[in-house]
């Protein structure tokens, strides 16, 4: 969907108002944590694990299961590192917005990772939807053991479900309050 106009894009976005501000610094803060953690695991995978496996093989105790187990730091490190680079990519994207108006809702935001780039970049989703295609919108609070650690705005449409967590400066509840005026029209 990157750069392409969707069939739903025939609505006028000129009459729509920004209801949320794209927040770049949240992506950068997440990247500052994820990239070093991923690099640390990759370092372990490429330097420490081969040394340990070589010692085991030299002593005659090596097995294929140890080698398979040794790939775990590589896979986890790659996933964390690529997640951090996607956040840097998202932080520097231009023309990202979330708008609403009397005719519907419109957004242009990074959404999913691209397998073609080995998960190092994001796809851009740009949709303009009439209100009849918006089935449900609600705030989602993430919790672990009763401790709140994240919030997201969930948008369920006829085109699919979109979960926008950490994209905006405003809270999901504030965005929904701003949108409510347009949806009631």
The answer to whether residue 1 is domain-embedded is no
Whether residue 156 is predicted with pLDDT greater than 90 in this model: the reply is: yes
- Same domain, yes or no: 135 and 48: no
pTM for the structure as a whole = 0.76
- Same domain, yes or no: 150 and 166: yes
- Same domain, yes or no: 128 and 67: no
- Same domain, yes or no: 100 and 11: yes
Dihedral sign, Cα of residue 90, residue 129, residue 179, residue 132: negative
Average pLDDT of span 10-23: 79
Q: What would the pLDDT profile of 17-39 be if each residue is shown by its tens digit?
A: 999 999 999 999 999 999 999 99
Average pLDDT of the chain to the nearest whole number: 85
- Same domain, yes or no: 132 and 161: yes
Whether residue 9 is predicted with pLDDT greater than 50 in this model: the reply is: no
Q: What would the pLDDT profile of 80-139 be if each residue is shown by its tens digit?
A: 999 999 999 999 999 999 999 988 999 999 988 888 888 899 999 899 999 999 999 999
Please give the tally of structural domains in the chain. 2
The answer to whether residue 2 is domain-embedded is no
From 159, 165, 7, 34, select the one nearest 88 (Cα to Cα). 34
**Cβ-contact 94, 3 below 8 angstroms:** no
Whether residue 62 is predicted with pLDDT greater than 80 in this model: the reply is: no
Please state whether 160 falls in left (phi above 0), alpha (psi between -120 and 50) or beta.
Answer: left
- Same domain, yes or no: 86 and 168: no
- Same domain, yes or no: 113 and 148: yes
- Same domain, yes or no: 64 and 121: no
Average pLDDT of span 53-82: 81
Band (41; pLDDT cuts 50, 70, 90):
very high
Q: In the prediction, which pLDDT does 12 show?
A: 60
- Residue 86: give the domain boundaries: 30-90
State what percent of residues in the chain have pLDDT above 90.
50
């Amino acid at each position: 969907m990157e750069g392409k106009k969707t069939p739903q894009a025939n609505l006028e976005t000129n009459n729509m108002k920004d209801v949320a501000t794209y927040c770049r610094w949240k992506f950068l803060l997440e990247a500052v944590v994820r990239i070093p953690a991923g690099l640390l695991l990759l370092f372990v995978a490429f330097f420490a694990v081969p040394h340990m496996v070589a010692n085991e093989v030299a002593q005659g105790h090596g097995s294929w299961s140890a080698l398979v187990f040794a790939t775990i730091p590589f896979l986890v490190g790659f996933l964390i590192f690529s997640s951090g680079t996607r956040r840097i990519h998202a932080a520097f994207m231009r023309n990202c917005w979330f708008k609403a108006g009397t005719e519907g809702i419109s957004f242009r935001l990074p959404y999913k990772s691209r397998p073609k780039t080995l998960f190092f970049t994001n796809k851009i989703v740009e949709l303009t939807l009439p209100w009849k295609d918006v089935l449900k919108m609600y705030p989602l609070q993430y919790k672990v053991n009763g401790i709140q650690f994240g919030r997201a705005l969930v948008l369920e449409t006829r085109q699919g479900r979109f979960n926008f967590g950490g994209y905006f400066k405003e809270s999901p509840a504030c965005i929904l309050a701003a949108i409510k005026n347009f949806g009631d029209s």
